[in-house]
Amino acid sequence: MLLQRRVDSGKWAIHGGVLELGETVEETVKRELNEEIGINPIKLKFYKVFSGEDMHTVYPNGDEVYYINVIFLCDEYEGELKQDNFVYSLQLQV
């Protein structure tokens, strides 16, 4: 499992992002993985959608949101995992 430490909360989380206009979920996954950790997935397998009360977040400015996480598995990719001062990756065996 590949995780990142969020800059806004300091908590460990999955890598993710938001869809751009006209983009599919799969296109977003590929783009975000490349932007955040430098890999290009070859094969994605849909795993699960997480939503509902457990996904509720209140930001420091008072904004409230409910995240929808669409999770994919990826064990085939090209590229080298990158790490920078803002995104920290931790690879765990599960």
Q: What is the pLDDT of residues 1-25, one digit of tens each?
A: 778 777 777 878 888 888 999 999 9
- Largest CA-CA distance found in the chain, in angstroms, rounded: 40
| Domain positions in the chain | 2-91
pLDDT single digits (tens) 52-69: 999 998 988 999 999 999
Distances (CA, A) of 57 to 15, 62, 65: 17, 10, 5
Superfamily of domain 2-91 in the CATH hierarchy: Nucleoside Triphosphate Pyrophosphohydrolase (3.90.79.10)
pTM of the full predicted structure?
Answer: 0.74
